[in-house]
Structure 1
């Protein structure tokens, strides 16, 4: 009986080793970002523009004059969002161009 149980356990452990490997988690975030940037080139442009507008808004925070802080922050947020929406629109237009007009029809 004990030998039969050992045989069953060995068969179970052998059957689970199918040679199929799970996706590795060795891929770091930098390579994922580079891969996504190749697929959609305007995403990094939108991120960089957003960061630049936020940095500019923080730089201009001291010299805002009589403008209230909340109004200044609203203007900077609206500018950053407009840049990101613009980059997304250009990216969608570019991908539509690649999909429908740049490919020769077969």
Structure 2
């Protein structure tokens, strides 16, 4: 028996790595898309912020972006736990 790994990750391209990561944890990809969406929305709303200072606007934007990513990852974790623990098939054991 050889000590060679079944798949050598050093040989994969960036696109292959992204595809593998999206299959392993799709909620991480959803979180990143949400992050990009919140940042894009913040860039759009920057001109209409009124009398709010830039530092306060950026702080609120940071909190919204982090909340989006943490929410997506929490929902993904809850989904995985429910799927593995509550909805598991007893026939496979």
TM-score of the superposed pair, with normalisation by structure 1: 0.74
65, 82, 91: which one pairs with 1:80? 65
Does residue 66 of structure 2 align to residue 89 of structure 1? no
Change in Cα spacing, 1:99 to 1:28, as seen in structure 2 (3 Å) is same
Distance 1:58 1:92, change over 3 A: same
Q: How many residues align?
A: 88
1:34 is aligned to 2:19: yes
Consecutive unaligned residues in structure 1, runs of 5 or more = 1-17
Q: How does 1:57-68 map to 2 (within 5 A)?
A: 57-68=42-53
Deviation (angstroms), 1:40: 1.2
Relative to structure 1, is the Cα distance of residues 31 and 65 closer, same or farther in structure 2, using a 3 angstrom cutoff? same
- Find the structure with the greater CA-based Rg: 1
Residue equivalent to 1:3: none
Structure 1 runs of 4+ with >6 Å offset = none
Q: Distance in 2 between matches of 1:59 and 1:93?
A: 32
How far 1:25 sits from its partner (Å)?
Answer: 3.1
Q: Partners in 1 of 2:79 and 2:38 — Cα distance? A: 23
Q: Report the CA distance between 1:102 and its aligned residue.
A: 2.2
Task: Say which SS state the counterpart of residue 103 (structure 1) adopts.
Answer: coil
Q: Which has the higher contact order (CA 8 A, sep 6+)?
A: 2
